[in-house]
Amino acid sequence: MKKTKPITELRDTGKLEEDLSLNNGTLAITKNGKVRFHVLSPEAYEEFQNKDQTRGFEERIEPLPSGGGKSDCLGFVRMAAATPFVNLGAPEKNAENIVNEIRKAHEQGVSVLALPELCLTGYTCGDLFLDDELLHSCDIAIAKILDETRELPILFVFGAPFRPVSRLYNCGFVCLKGKILGIVPKAHLPNYSEFYEERHFAIAPENNVLVSYLGQETTFGRKQVFVDSSYPRLKIGVELCEDLWVPSSPSSILALHGASVILNLSSSNEIVGKADYRRRLVSMASAKEAAAYVYADSGDGESTSDLVFAGHNIIAENGRIIAESRLFSMKSAVADIDLELLSAERKRMNSFVPTGEEFHYVPFDLELRLPSNLLRKYGQSPFIPEGEMDFERVNAILDMQAEGLKNRLRAIHCTKAVIGLSGGLDSTLALLVAHRAFKLAGLDPKGLLAITLPCFGTSSRTHDNAVKLAKSLGVSFREINIARSVESHLKDIGHGSSLNVAFENAQARERTQVLMDIANDIGAIMVGTGDLSELCLGWCTYNGDHMSMYGVNASIPKTLVRYLVKGYSMMHKECSEALDDILDTPISPELLPTDSNGQIAQKTEDKIGPYDLHDFFIFYYLRYRFRPAKLYLIACLAFEGRFDKATIKKWLVAFFRRYFANQFKRNCLPDGAKVGTVAISPRGDLRLPSDVDADSYLREAESL
């Protein structure tokens, strides 16, 4: 047992050194019969600083879970911010309220819980913070909280005053199963307007120290990250209220040192307009730190002599608020945080570099399991904004596409363009973009030549829509039937009568040859029409519709193509008749002969699967690199009632098979401006070898 000494004996430094040498370099110092702090010899302090448990987690590889008695949580961890009722100056009563909130959160399946700043005493205690009686009551109350939660597998943080030596600090106590994992003091104390914290509290010291409290040794300091040793993607940092509002927040440093989750213990009073400002602060903090930000706010019970507290609890993830309590409701905010999503965001960046400061990495172990009722909503069309048509967004995307083409025309001193207009969605959008580019450049729209190239599979419906659209836009138009040319070519290569891939691709390549040759002949640029979905799935003919001189749709997925064409139709009634019918036409490459009634016989989605599903897979795989099991889970949630699980699995397997088999087509794409966060240019967002072995992806998808 470590020896203790009363604080009055510290004056005798010679005796102090002797006692330290006799007690392995550590002495517990008491005041009024209670241990207040420890004194370490230089050797013991150095040993403490080099303890294995406090470092190294930031460099651990984060393997995907593989059993070991723990279920795969797929990155989802349920977190909450709650506001217990406060009895001002009555820690033991408040301890009961805090424990009740912890139990309630545990019943909701919460693994990580944040409670407000100074919720053990109340934030508005004023000069009561100077009373030893209050601090002594806090000791008793904290011991009670630890005792009553030692069987609960939930990490929680609550606010309380703490006096390690002679100065008082405003702190967050990080606890799990009866243990204090760490005590984090507030780094920035507001002392302006209605705040006067420096009257009672000290600013957090620069470095961490080891303290003994309630019979436990723990770290006291602001440079701590708490790491789940079984699932190290869960790294937690703590800051308190004002720390969020200052120019250089501790959360930024915590994030640089690996924290993926920031818990903020706050007592932010309410005034007009502050809630919206607070909401933006929390959202932006989570965005710039690529983290989850859990903000717990004080509410009922705080003094209303001068202030009102609304209990405004907020949870944000990567710039988006995903849970929030209504002001004055005293309700919790509960959300399932996606740590795999946050990890994917940081992997894409190279800006999360530790500052070189000495940080402690404190281990803990939670039994993380996939929540049975996931508290997340997934829209079926992640590339499209929810709600009514967003005309501002439609115009913004069309402008970006058009600016890219306009600048290319200017750079090559070209005033003409050629587009193959089939009467389908992709070529329609390409023509609308090119038409806008000509307007932006101040060029005559007659310099834009739309060419329709009917062949064996062209229906009268798509042909007529192409003619109507070109006429309504006032561009030049030309029709060239390529059937005889294709027949002659197939005869030359001895093809025969089989309706095989060669039969289909010959038409696509003939169209491309004709368009490029005409472009060369009239001094024009040939504009490509292929979209991102087709390129991801390889649903394009190599050196056919795959190739152009500039591709305006290269980063536009099929669902967004449809959305943009619909938006354009609603804004431009002069084109709406043709555009609306194009939108209603089944998607088809029209490379197989029409049926006996002249109707489309080849429907793309019957062959490769629904574009709604594929665009969902494309977004969440390319944007966040979700593995097949996770894609399957969230797709089942998003499309429940529309596609059954067997259908989703079928097309998920098809997606991965097609995606990895067709990189060779993407590796030689023509230029085209990036519009959204998902893009596949081999010169920008997607550098992938063409011969990747995709067996591990396919095995996981097929085993679902």
Q: Which of 138, 241, 455, 536 is catalytic?
A: 241
> How many Cα atoms occupy the beta-carbon half-sphere of 171 within 13 Å?
29
pLDDT for the residue 356: 81
Q: Which residues of the chain have pLDDT under 50?
A: 1-2, 52-69
pLDDT for the residue 68: 37
Of 359, 154, 333, the C-alpha closest to 255 is: 359
CA-CA distance, 447 to 438, in Å (whole number)? 8
The secondary element (H helix, E strand) that includes residue 66 is none
- pLDDT tens digits, residue range 609-632? 999 999 999 999 999 999 999 999
In this structure, the strands spanning 76-81 and 235-240 are unpaired
DSSP state letter for 309 = B
pLDDT for the residue 52: 44
In this structure, the strands spanning 26-31 and 169-176 are unpaired
Handedness of CA 627, 632, 634, 638 (dihedral sign): positive
CA 438 to chain centre: 37
CA-CA distance, 455 to 303, in Å (whole number)? 80
Instruction: Judge whether 510 counts as a catalytic residue.
Output: no
pLDDT for the residue 2: 47
- pLDDT tens digits, residue range 395-420? 999 999 999 999 999 999 999 999 99
Phi, psi of 236 (to 5 degrees): -115, 130
pLDDT for the residue 7: 65
pLDDT for the residue 16: 73
- What global pTM score does this model have? 0.88
Q: Which of 73, 101, 171, 186 is catalytic?
A: 186
pLDDT for the residue 595: 73
CA-CA distance, 542 to 523, in Å (whole number)? 25
Instruction: Judge whether 171 counts as a catalytic residue.
Output: no
CA-CA distance, 629 to 635, in Å (whole number)? 10
pLDDT for the residue 194: 87
Q: Which of 5, 73, 101, 117 is catalytic?
A: 117
Of 629, 621, 616, 617, the C-alpha closest to 76 is: 629
pLDDT for the residue 137: 97
Instruction: Judge whether 117 counts as a catalytic residue.
Output: yes
Sheet of 525-528: strand order equals 476-479, 448-452, 417-420, 525-528, 550-551
For residue 215, give both structure tokens.
């019979």
Sheet of 314-317: strand order equals 320-324, 314-317, 292-297, 261-266, 235-240, 224-228, 360-364
Q: Terminus-to-terminus CA distance in the chain, angstroms?
A: 55
Please tell me the total number of residues recorded for the chain in this structure. 704
Of 35, 45, 280, 64, the C-alpha closest to 163 is: 35
For residue 418, give both structure tokens.
């050629």
Domains in the chain, CATH or no CATH each: 1-50 (3.40.1620), 76-364 (3.60.110.10), 391-702 (3.40.50.620)
Instruction: Name the residue type at position 25.
Output: G
pLDDT for the residue 64: 46
